[in-house]
């Protein structure tokens, strides 16, 4: 298996795990009434703790300590990709459907392509076309007639804008984090950013004096959020960044919206329409165009 194939496969695994974030976040915040900032803080605190334990038991503690020497840039990355993105995602989940949040947040591949240009990565025209088709697929689903929802939509516009903010933050985190991934190692760099972002979220969450008396259902949702789409997905994602460029990896996230929509329909009773089929087809085409190998020029 080539590095490119392995990187794309890891990116797809991470994206599939991320598809569950929106449903779990929607259930916890809108369904169970947990403060969105507290939910974000608990998610990333659990994720950071599990990541540290994983690195310790797999013999990578010394590499984690070396990564911690780059505390300033990794803290900045944590502020963007964990703290700010986490706030945006969970505010979005409290206001609009998991389907909308998943679709808009995973349009961040467009911003990854733009940011990749800023750091000198080559982004061919064909891949930009793929990215635009994928965004169009997301738009088809988002602009479709809304179906009845089991959980009320409080403010779709504000929730969608929050998801867009999360998309921009994640794109910046992915692109500007690549240098540290390749210098320090993906799992190590991701863990340091997780710790930094989680600490910021905890401070803000505690300042809001939320109700922390959670039931077993809420803790189960937090445990899922912290382990699978956080620790596992982020370690896998940053490992993928060691193998392929950010603009190639970014479009793999287009698999998350269709999966998130299926989960939202099955678990939360969110409406599923023909727009899902049309959007999913566009997304599949987009992933193929944006990630296919470029033809070699003949000399």
Q: Give residue 139's pLDDT band: very low, low, confident or very high (50, 70, 90).
A: confident
Model confidence at 113: pLDDT above 50: yes
Question: Looking at residue 164, what is its pLDDT?
Answer: 83
Residue with tokens 């969608």: 160
Q: How confident is the model over 230-243, as pLDDT tens digits?
A: 989 888 887 887 88
Question: Looking at residue 5, what is its pLDDT?
Answer: 87
Q: How confident is the model over 151-177, as pLDDT tens digits?
A: 877 887 788 888 888 988 988 888 888
CA-closest candidate to residue 224, choices 267, 254, 185: 267
How does the average pLDDT of the chain come out, rounded? 83
Segments in the chain forming alpha helices (H): 3-26, 36-57, 61-68, 71-78, 85-95, 98-105, 108-118, 125-142, 156-184, 186-207, 216-226, 233-241, 246-249, 256-268, 274-291
Q: How far apart are CA 69 and CA 71, in angstroms?
A: 5
Q: Give residue 297's pLDDT band: very low, low, confident or very high (50, 70, 90).
A: very low
Domain residue spans of the chain: 3-291
Asked if 100 and 160 count as a contact pair (C-beta separation under 8 A), the reply is yes
Asked if 141 and 99 count as a contact pair (C-beta separation under 8 A), the reply is yes
Question: Looking at residue 119, what is its pLDDT?
Answer: 61
Q: Does the global pTM surpass 0.85?
A: no
């Amino acid at each position: 298996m080539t590095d490119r194939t392995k990187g794309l496969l890891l990116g797809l695994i991470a994206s599939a795990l991320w598809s569950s974030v929106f449903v779990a976040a929607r259930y916890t915040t809108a369904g169970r009434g947990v403060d969105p900032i507290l939910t974000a803080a608990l998610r990333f605190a659990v994720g950071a703790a599990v990541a540290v334990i994983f690195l310790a038991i797999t013999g990578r503690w010394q590499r984690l300590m070396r990564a911690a020497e780059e505390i300033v840039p990794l803290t900045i990355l944590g502020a963007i990709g964990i703290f700010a993105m986490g706030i945006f995602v969970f505010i979005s989940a409290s206001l609009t459907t998991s389907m909308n949040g998943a679709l808009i947040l995973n349009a961040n591949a467009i911003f990854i392509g733009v940011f990749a240009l800023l750091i000198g990565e080559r982004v061919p025209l064909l891949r930009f076309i793929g990215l635009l088709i994928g965004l169009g697929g997301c738009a088809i689903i988002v602009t479709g007639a809304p179906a009845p929802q089991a959980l009320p939509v409080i403010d779709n516009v504000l929730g969608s804008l929050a998801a867009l903010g999360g998309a921009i933050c994640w794109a910046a985190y992915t692109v500007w984090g690549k240098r540290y991934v390749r210098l320090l190692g993906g799992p190590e760099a991701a863990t340091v950013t997780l710790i930094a972002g989680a600490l910021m979220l905890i401070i803000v969450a505690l300042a809001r004096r939320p109700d922390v008396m959670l039931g077993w259902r809420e803790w189960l949702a937090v445990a899922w959020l912290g382990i699978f789409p956080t620790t596992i997905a982020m370690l896998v994602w940053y490992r993928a960044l060691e193998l392929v460029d950010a603009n190639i990896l970014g479009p793999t996230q287009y698999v998350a919206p269709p999966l998130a929509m299926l989960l939202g329909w099955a678990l939360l009773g969110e409406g599923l329409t023909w727009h899902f089929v049309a959007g999913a087809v566009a997304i599949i085409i987009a992933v193929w165009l944006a990630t296919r190998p470029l033809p070699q020029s003949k000399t």
